[in-house]
Structure 1
Amino acid sequence: MQRNNTQLQPVLKIKQKLGFLKPMSLAKKLNLSKREDRKCTIADILLGHWQLISKGSFSFDNWAMQISTITGRTISGQGLWKRVARPEIVTYIRALLHRSFAQKYGSFMDSALFCHFDNVYVQDATHFSLPSCLSDVFPGSYSKRGDTACAKIQAIFNFKKGRFSDFALDSFRDNDQKDAYRFLGTLMEGDLIIRDLGYFVLDVFDRIDKGQAYFLSRFKYNILVHDAVTGEGLKLDACLKDKRELDIEVHLGREKRVKCRFVAIPLSDGIANERRRKAKRNRNKKSNHSKEYLNLLGYSIYITNVPKEVWTAPNIVQAYKARWYIEILFKSWKGNLRIKNDIPQRYINRQRAEFFFYSVLLMVNLLVIPIFNKAQQIIEKAGIAISIIKLSEIVRENMQMIVNEKINILEQIKYYAMYESRKDRINAMETIYFNIS
């Protein structure tokens, strides 16, 4: 196959991207490589691990064979196990991951909706069930059937730059509210962060506002709302009565009064009634939903400190849809990249589990996201969006050829990874990319 250097650009640079992270100097610093590696480097171990994703089963022998396809040299599974079993390996791979956050991929999203902000971050979490032997390290949900194990990945995606800015590996029982504080030191003046209800903490909103950054979140129904002028408590269902939408300045909270906009947009009767039916089915036996709460379920309600001259109420609804993108990324990880396939059910411990997760997250940041961004930049000129889910499947199926730089991946993406053209509904990426409602 004749290679086209322009088209293969995101593939040919994968080893250069690993080189940018200076893996060998870091390995020597952590005493992981005291002399020149004769059979394989740390980078080869990572690339071999990435190739395992398409195999659907894990063993150190299989991993060693993948490395041999890269290096042309043989390495035993036992020899590989000794290298990966060293206690410094998790510190090393985590450090490489954090170095990858400095990668520059160029502009990803030039939407007029976000032109007012320097950076637009979207934060969310996803879960991965693990063998029960890891329940002490990654405790899962409480179960009457015995101990369960579940890991949680906290991810923060920079929507304008098209790259992840932060990852954290926690357990299922580590709540999102605790993690809401972690990114405050990174958020700068003029930045925007979009989160769902799990991260709803009034103190965090207050700190973001005082730092002259911006937030956008769903509203939490049990929070007290006060008129911003009079300070009087508001009856929300009375405020919303006979109004198509509501956009007012309020103060939230009983003691800590956080000033923000309160924006409510009515839902269709069908969606509103379904939300009410679901609330009645799922409620705790000891609770009884109030009439006001059931009325509020007929609205999409948001809070933000973005001023009205920057966003109208419909703009807020549109901007919140950016969260769809990170949800789509999570779906592609689980369903198409199948990143849990290489976590064995036996002979697994905390160190190996953490290595597997951090290695795959590094692959997402250095390989999958750059390929997607490059392909989308080429294709979006025609007003077409690429499915990250379909792209992830193509990457998984061709991982060995991608790592060994033997495939024109963009040609396959342009043909097989685009959304189908449909007149009856708009897909999520069209909504995000082209501001189509």
Structure 2
Amino acid sequence: MCQRHSLFRRIRILDSTSFQLPPEIQGIYEGCAGPGVKIQLEYECLEGKVLHVDVGDARHHDAAYGASLRSTIQEGDLCLKDLGYFSLEGLQAIHDAGAFYISRLKHNVGIYQKEGDQFRKWEPEDFLAMLQPGETIELEDVYVSGKKVHQPRLIVYRLTEKQEQQKEGQWKQKAKQKGAAYVTRRPHPIYVYITNIPAIDTSLHDIHTLYSLRWQIEVIVKTWKSLFHIHRFKRMKGTRFQCHLYGTLIALLISSTVMFAMREWLYRKQKKELSEYKAMSMIKEWGMD
């Protein structure tokens, strides 16, 4: 369960899922290699509310969709940004709205630190040499890509050996599923977080924990495919597929609302945690079969 924090009015988490469509469903949703659909979901984890759901082409970039939501940012919001939605301009917009953010920093974004009259550029390998697994440091007076962005905090965290093994296992599984067509950077044990949360309110050791709340929406999106099989359907015409897709999404959003209520009740009454995946599987077994 998300614990309330006096500094944050809402905790917003955005994620997406996509899947290919059969060739006969043409002209409705397009992907990079034939028909494909992408579903964007923004979730507020303090009250378990779904803020935004959008269905569109699989070829649409996550960063562009994230930019379209900037006008909805409110003072006191905390936005947890995945790498797919990373944008320095977007982070600046959140800051200007009086809101907060935590984002992973892409490895191709330069990190510079002023040392006297010179600037030192930090590389991921530099952090590997100075951090032991599980250790965290904060860099002070830093510049990102040569520009000082509203004096951000940069927190560097090295994954534990167990976390590194888990990430490597997940990467290998995806690579096996998608074959040679799956091209991406192997997981790196160094995570660099950029945030505008004042140090007086949140210590550097809490930043990784706060960002880990993203896992809640990742589990929800995972259940859509692994439990509810949103990406599997019989052959049908495009208009019928749209009815099927939107009907399934309505059922999933209702299930998510019930899931949050179940978890909140159990925690409030018995101080016990119920996983999102377990709760959704119970709802599917008793309410949707």
TM-score of the superposed pair, with normalisation by structure 2: 0.80
Structure number with bigger Rg = 1
Matching of residue 168 in structure 1 with residue 58 in structure 2: no
Q: Is the 8 A contact 1:251 1:258 kept in 2?
A: no
Distance in 2, matches of 1:368 and 1:383, equals 22
Distance in 2, matches of 1:219 and 1:377, equals 32
Q: Determine which of 194, 201, 215 is the counterpart of 2:80.
A: 194
Match of 1:361 in 2: 249
Deviates more, 1:391-400 or 1:129-138: 391-400
Distance in 2, matches of 1:274 and 1:389, equals 18
- For residue 181 of structure 1, report the CA deviation from its aligned partner: 0.6
Change (3 A) 1:255 1:387: closer
Partner of 1:263, secondary structure, is strand
Deviates more, 1:207-216 or 1:249-258: 249-258
Q: Which has the higher strand share?
A: 2
Partner of 2:70, secondary structure, is coil
Change (3 A) 1:273 1:129: closer
Q: Determine which of 136, 144, 147 is the counterpart of 1:252.
A: 144
Deviations 1:378-402 (A, max 9, x none): 321323222333433343344479x
Change (3 A) 1:126 1:275: closer
CA RMSD of aligned residues (A): 3.3
Q: Is the 8 A contact 1:332 1:392 kept in 2?
A: yes
TM-score of the superposed pair, with normalisation by structure 1: 0.55
Q: Determine which of 245, 255, 258 is the counterpart of 1:371.
A: 258
Deviations 1:354-411 (A, max 9, x none): 333333323333x31232233223321323222333433343344479xxxxxxxxxx
Change (3 A) 1:117 1:270: closer
Aligned counterparts, 1:190-269, within 5 A: 190-227=76-113, 232-236=119-123, 237-238=125-126, 241-243=129-131, 244-249=135-140, 250-254=142-146, 257=149, 259-269=151-161
Match of 2:276 in 1: 388
How many residues in Structure 1 have an aligned counterpart in Structure 2? 272
Q: Determine which of 234, 237, 249 is the counterpart of 1:344.
A: 234
Distance in 2, matches of 1:363 and 1:131, equals 23
Structure with bigger RCO (C-alpha 8 Å, 6+ apart) = 1
Distance in 2, matches of 1:208 and 1:323, equals 18
Q: Is the 8 A contact 1:273 1:298 kept in 2?
A: no
Match of 2:44 in 1: 158
Q: Is the 8 A contact 1:202 1:256 kept in 2?
A: no
Partner of 1:377, secondary structure, is helix
Q: Is the 8 A contact 2:19 2:37 kept in 1?
A: yes
Distance in 1, matches of 2:71 and 2:40, equals 16
- For residue 117 of structure 1, report the CA deviation from its aligned partner: 0.3
Partner of 1:378, secondary structure, is helix
Distance in 2, matches of 1:256 and 1:135, equals 46
- For residue 275 of structure 1, report the CA deviation from its aligned partner: 6.9
Match of 1:139 in 2: 30
Unaligned runs of 5+ in 2: none
Q: Is the 8 A contact 2:10 2:76 kept in 1?
A: yes
Q: Which amino acid aligns with 1:163?
A: K
Q: Which has the higher helix share?
A: 1
Q: Is the 8 A contact 2:101 2:197 kept in 1?
A: yes
- For residue 274 of structure 1, report the CA deviation from its aligned partner: 8.7
Q: Which amino acid aligns with 2:272?
A: I
Sequence identity of aligned pairs in percent? 21
Q: Is the 8 A contact 1:124 1:155 kept in 2?
A: yes
Deviations 1:156-183 (A, max 9, x none): 0001111110011122211111112121
Deviations 1:22-70 (A, max 9, x none): xxxxxxxxxxxxxxxxxxxxxxxxxxxxxxxxxxxxxxxxxxxxxxxxx
Q: Determine which of 196, 219, 224 is the counterpart of 1:305.
A: 196
Q: Which amino acid aligns with 1:345?
A: R
Change (3 A) 1:231 1:214: farther
Q: Which amino acid aligns with 2:102?
A: L
- For residue 344 of structure 1, report the CA deviation from its aligned partner: 3.3
Distance in 2, matches of 1:226 and 1:260, equals 12
Matching of residue 117 in structure 1 with residue 8 in structure 2: yes
- For residue 316 of structure 1, report the CA deviation from its aligned partner: 0.9
